Amino acid sequence: MDSMSIIQEILGFGLSIISVFFKLIFAFIAGMTALFKGRSFIFWGMATLFLPWLFFVVLLIPRKYPKFHSHIINKEEFRGKNPVIASIMALSAIVAKSDGNISKEEVLIIKKFISANFGVSYEELSNYGGVFDYGKSHPEEYREFTRIINTFYRRKDYIIAIAYLFVSIAMQDNQISENEDVLIRSILFELGLSSYEYESIKNAFTHGQGYYGGQSAQGYVGNEDFLIRKYSKVLQVEENADLHEIKKSYRKLVKEYHPDKIASKGMPEDYKEFANNKIKEINEAYEYLSKSKGA
């Protein structure tokens, strides 16, 4: 075999490796896209690996909506309704009704939120009146509605926005009653938000600050135990977390609470202020803990 043939074989082998590499990348991206849309990662990933043109099909397929359990889906109020919109409407009604009555301002906040996030007109939302009434009358069903939302939303920033919506509803009379507090805390727990995150959002309304009233590290000089406990809660890590865990949680929270990202969820202007304050708190916590760990 002459040198030219050897070179051609080497080039052919190299091109084959490159081709396989790019096929694997396309298959992975297709699988992740399918997973985001509620489809099978394995099916679409493998299909795209053997038939690369299916990658473009995955981009075009609609997102799959989760389904209610039979005792809900068969009810007249929910037939033909978008389950995610229906779940947010029902949960909002549960929260609004928890203090005994629902105001026009609360209904307006709910409609604005859903309209901004889903592009649903106010006229179309009127078709969800039965869902809203069902939520008012069946607060015990909140776990079914949170299940639907958790299945559809895989990004924390959306859940944070929904949490802000619920606190906005409860704060229309400038205070959160004990019943409202217990209910919202239970709903947000099912949605995956910690007690600290809920308190942080709630205190942004009641005090205009974060969970600790906006007090910076300067106010607690000499009290290192308190600061480590405080900032560990902010970054959602254990008090003995190492620098790697702290950095990982910090990056995750910055993405979730970035003002430009979460202020676009159809919430009031003060939501952006809340996001900005939260980012400042996260940065302050990271700066203190990273220094305390010897970074």
Q: Residues 193-211: pLDDT tens digits?
A: 888 888 888 877 765 544 4
For the record, the structure tokens of 30 come out as: 């297709």
> What does the chain come to in residues?
295
Domain extents in the chain: 3-60, 70-191, 217-292
For the record, the structure tokens of 212 come out as: 């600790």
The alpha carbon of residue 271 and the mean position of all alpha carbons in its chain are separated, in whole angstroms, by 15
- How far apart are alpha carbons 295 and 291 in whole angstroms? 5
Would you state the pLDDT for residue 47? 84
- How far apart are alpha carbons 186 and 140 in whole angstroms? 11
Give the DSSP letter of residue 241. Answer: -
- How far apart are alpha carbons 196 and 23 in whole angstroms? 44
| pLDDT tens digits for range 216-266 | 444 444 467 777 887 888 888 888 888 888 888 888 888 877 767 655 555
Q: What are phi and psi of 75, to 5 degrees?
A: -80, 145
What percent of the chain shows pLDDT beyond 90?
16
Residue pair 165/267 in contact (Cβ under 8 Å)? The answer is yes
| pLDDT tens digits for range 51-77 | 887 878 878 877 777 888 888 988 999
Residue pair 234/213 in contact (Cβ under 8 Å)? The answer is no
- How far apart are alpha carbons 264 and 236 in whole angstroms? 24
- How far apart are alpha carbons 263 and 260 in whole angstroms? 6
For the record, the structure tokens of 57 come out as: 């099909």
Burial of 262 (0-12, 13-18, 19+ CB in 10 A): buried
Give the DSSP letter of residue 218. Answer: G
- How far apart are alpha carbons 258 and 256 in whole angstroms? 6
Would you state the pLDDT for residue 211? 44
What class, spelled out in words, does domain 217-292 have in CATH? mainly alpha
- How far apart are alpha carbons 101 and 248 in whole angstroms? 43
For the record, the structure tokens of 16 come out as: 């084959």
- How far apart are alpha carbons 27 and 42 in whole angstroms? 9
Greatest distance between any 2 Cα atoms in the chain: 90
What percent of the chain shows pLDDT beyond 70?
84
Would you state the pLDDT for residue 204? 74
